[in-house]
Amino acid sequence: MIRTTLQKAILSCFAIFSLTLALSFSACESKPPEEVFLPDIEPLPTGLKKYEAMVTPANNPTTAEKVALGRQLFFDPRLSVDQSKSCAACHLCEKGLTDGLPKAIGPGNKVLARSSPTLWNIGYHKEFYWDGRSASLEAQAKAAWAGGNMGAKDHESEIIGRINSSAGYRQQFQKVFAAPPSTDNVFQAIAAYERTIIAGNDETAVEHVIECFEERELVALPFFADEDLIEVCHLVRSKIVHGPRTG
């Protein structure tokens, strides 16, 4: 009788210990909820009045949320192989959205074959790269990323993993694409953002553009009609100059 009672007591203690241990492991394994990241979402710009309508790929419609995500990625150096350069590094506002160099510089200070083209009104183009070998912004951006501009070739999974490690990015990709970051949707987002880098239709664009020129360059401005100048100039915003918050 005493022996049976003792066995029951031992079994009860063991059961309580096992339950406590299981609950402890469960508490350790559970993760706190991710803080919700709120990106800077702005209204989409209107197209240029005297240009034909911009053509957007059917599989990559432009939305304000996708543009906000693409803007963050455009300014994020984590996309380059050594995390030293973002897309924006070769497209500076003060240099007319180029880098102002005769030949672009890639990661590790590697001199590339050609200069960085401007991105003003890039969404209206039909062909991309200086030789027109790319048929879409999405394809061009992905090729530049894999090539010398960003050096991502053979490191694609590692780099996309960096983006996926950000809770803010994960949330946005799920909202915009219903999928985690990938080599395809990263550049769909960037291309969507680049299509919003268009010239201003407002005459106030002239005043903002003048701020981007040094005094010695201003002598050329009177040779352009205001109408022409407005079409080639962009309203300079702080988000273009400084970049957005990232997730």
Mean pLDDT, the chain, whole residue set: 76
Burial track 133-158 (b if 16+ CB lie within 10 A, e otherwise): ebebbbbbbbbbbbebbbbbeeebee
Q: What is the percentage of the chain residues whose pLDDT exceeds 90? A: 36
For the stretch 196-236, pLDDT in tens is 998 765 544 444 455 555 444 444 444 444 444 444 444 43
Q: Which residues contact 29 (CB under 8 A, 6 or more apart)?
A: none
Supply 201's token pair: 């239709």
Q: Reduced to 3 states, what is the DSSP secondary structure of residue 33?
A: coil
The string of pLDDT tens digits covering residues 134-160 is 789 999 999 889 887 887 889 999 999
Cα(163)–Cα(158) distance, integer angstroms: 9
Cβ neighbours around 244 below 10 Å, total:
21
Residues 78, 60 contacting (CB under 8 angstroms): no
Which is the CATH superfamily of the domain at 39-247? Cytochrome c-like domain (1.10.760.10)
Among 41, 99, 52, smallest CA distance to 198 is for: 52
Q: For the CA atoms of 65, 247, 82, 197, what is the dihedral angle to 10 degrees?
A: 30
What residue segments make up the domains of the chain, in order of their start? 1-30, 39-247
Number of alpha helices (DSSP H) and beta strands (DSSP E) in the chain: 9, 2
pLDDT given at position 22: 52
Predicted confidence (pLDDT) per residue in 73-105, tens digit: 999 999 999 998 899 988 888 888 888 888 888
How many CB atoms lie under 10 A from the CB of residue 62?
17
Q: How far apart are the first and last CA of the chain?
A: 66
Q: For the CA atoms of the chain, what is the radius of gyration?
A: 26
User: Quick check: helix, strand or coil at residue 41?
Assistant: coil
Instruction: Identify the bridge partners of residue 106 per DSSP, sorted by sequence position.
Output: 110
Residue for token digits 């203690």? 13
Q: How far apart are CA 194 and CA 201, in angstroms?
A: 17
Three-point CA angle 221, 225, 228, nearest 5°: 95
- Chain CA centroid to CA 156, Å: 15
